[in-house]
Amino acid sequence: MDRIKICEQCGSEYPANKFQYARQRYCTRRCKDKRRWEKQIISGDIRHKKGGYNRSTYIKKWMEARLSDNTAPCHYCETRVTPEDFVLDHKIPVAKLTTKKEMMEESNLVVACRKCNQSKGSIGYEEFLVQIKLG
């Protein structure tokens, strides 16, 4: 006799595995993985959309860079950027960082325009500043 359970992710009924009945909570591996992904996004373990930093980090960096109007200067080229089109750039590139803690360090972040962020790529901070002055 199959015991019927209800999936915690999608809500569909499914026959539970007789050996894992008490522990089984999802109908398929897909539902289980989807739930795990959602939990990681909520906890902040997964970077997504705009770098995955928490909202307060964006607000702090924006307010540090902002003047009296609703724009802020790009850290590199001084172009005015709005809250909709700025990005947070890492002074020390992510490729050269070894831990997640270093990557999330607020002192390593600056407000930049997309053009400068893409131009900088994985170049070091000082090297990029020299490149801007020369170029």
pLDDT at 44 over 80: no
pLDDT of residue 30: 93
Which distant-in-sequence residues (6+ apart) come within 8 Å of 79 by Cβ?
73, 113, 115, 116
pLDDT in tens, 94-128: 888 888 788 778 888 888 999 999 998 888 889 99
Six-digit token string for 81: 């950027």
Which tokens belong to 17?
């595995």
Residue 112: other Cβ atoms inside 10 A: 25
- pTM across the whole model: 0.52
Cβ atoms 50, 41 nearer than 8 A: no
pLDDT attached to residue 57? 79
pLDDT number for residue 132: 87
- For the CA atoms of 55, 39, 94, 113, the dihedral, rounded to the nearest 10 degrees, stands at -40
Domain range annotation of the chain: 4-43, 52-134
Helix or strand or coil: residue 80? strand
Which residue type occupies 17?
N
Q: With residue 4 as reference, give the H or E element that holds it.
A: strand 4-6
CATH of 52-134, one of 3.30.70, 1.10.30, 2.130.10, 3.40.50: 1.10.30
Arithmetic mean of pLDDT over the chain: 82
Q: Considering only CA atoms, which of 77, 70, 69, 68 is closest in space to residue 110?
A: 77
- Would you mind telling me the total number of residues written for the chain in this entry? 135
Q: What is the pLDDT of residue 39?
A: 85
